[in-house]
Amino acid sequence: MRFGCEVLVAFCNTTLYDASYNVIFMTDPGLLILASLAEGDKHGYGIMLDVQQFAGVELGPGTLYGAITRLVECGWIRPLESSDKRRRPYRITAEGRTQLQEEMTRIDRVVKTALGRLKHA
């Protein structure tokens, strides 16, 4: 039983956890936060306003901090030291930039393909 579990764990770790690791947290709010922080460091409310401005999406406090928590756990953004604990700013990490770059390239490819197909249709 234990051996069977270990085999399954190994399988899950190699296929589901690792291969799809990047996809798991790349949900829409996460992507929007990364895009916002790519411009510069911002605190929670700043991100919320920025996202509303450039994407027209109103992120609720629960959604925003759920995504921030996940992005911090992934190491794609990190909190900065601040004297005002109520307005702690966040900064995108190098790994976060790479993820954002890859995701944007993928989205760009999808958008271009879709637009091209729409033109020919």
Partner 1 sequence: MKRWIELAASLYPRSWREEYGEEFRGLLEDVRPSWRVFGNVLRGAITMQITRNTNWLKLAAAMAAAGALIAGAISFTMPRNYVSSSVIRMTAQPDPLRPASPQALQDRAADHLASLETDILSRTSLAAIIQKPSLDLYKKERYRMPMEDIVQKMRSDIHVEAFPPETAGTPAAVRISFAYPDQEKAQAVLRELVTRFVEHNVIVNRNKASLYRYFWEDRVKAHEARPAPAPPTGENLEVIDPPSKPGKGLGPNRFGYVLAGIGLGGLLGILAAVARLRPRDGWKLAASAAAGLVLATALSLLIPDRYTSTAVMRLTPPQVMEDPLAIPPTVSAAERLREMAPEILSRENLERIILKPHLDLYREERARKPLEQVVDDMRKRDLLITPVGVSAFRISFYYRDRYQAQMVVREFVTGFTEWNVLEARAKAQYMTVMARQIEEHKAGMNLEVLDPASLPESPVFPNRGLIALVGVAAGLLACSLVLAEASPHILRRTRRIRHRTSS
Please report how close the Cβ of residue 71 comes to partner 1 at its closest, in angstroms: 10
> Which of 104, 80, 83 shows the shortest CA–CA distance to 91?
80
Non-local (6+) Cβ contacts of 72 within 8 A are 78, 79, 90
Question: Does residue 57 interact with partner 1 by CB under 8 A?
Answer: no
Please report how close the Cβ of residue 113 comes to partner 1 at its closest, in angstroms: 27
Please report how close the Cβ of residue 90 comes to partner 1 at its closest, in angstroms: 10
Please pick, from the candidates 9, 80, 107, 115, the single residue that binds partner 1 as defined by CB under 8 A: 9
Question: Does residue 75 interact with partner 1 by CB under 8 A?
Answer: yes
Residues linked to residue 90 through DSSP beta bridges, in sequence order: 42, 79
Q: How far apart are CA 79 and CA 104, in angstroms?
A: 23
Q: How far apart are CA 64 and CA 45, in angstroms?
A: 9
Tokens (6 digits) for 105: 């390239």
Applying CB under 8 A, which residues contact partner 1? 5-6, 8-9, 12-13, 16-17, 20, 24, 43-45, 48, 60-66, 68-69, 72-75, 78, 85-88, 93
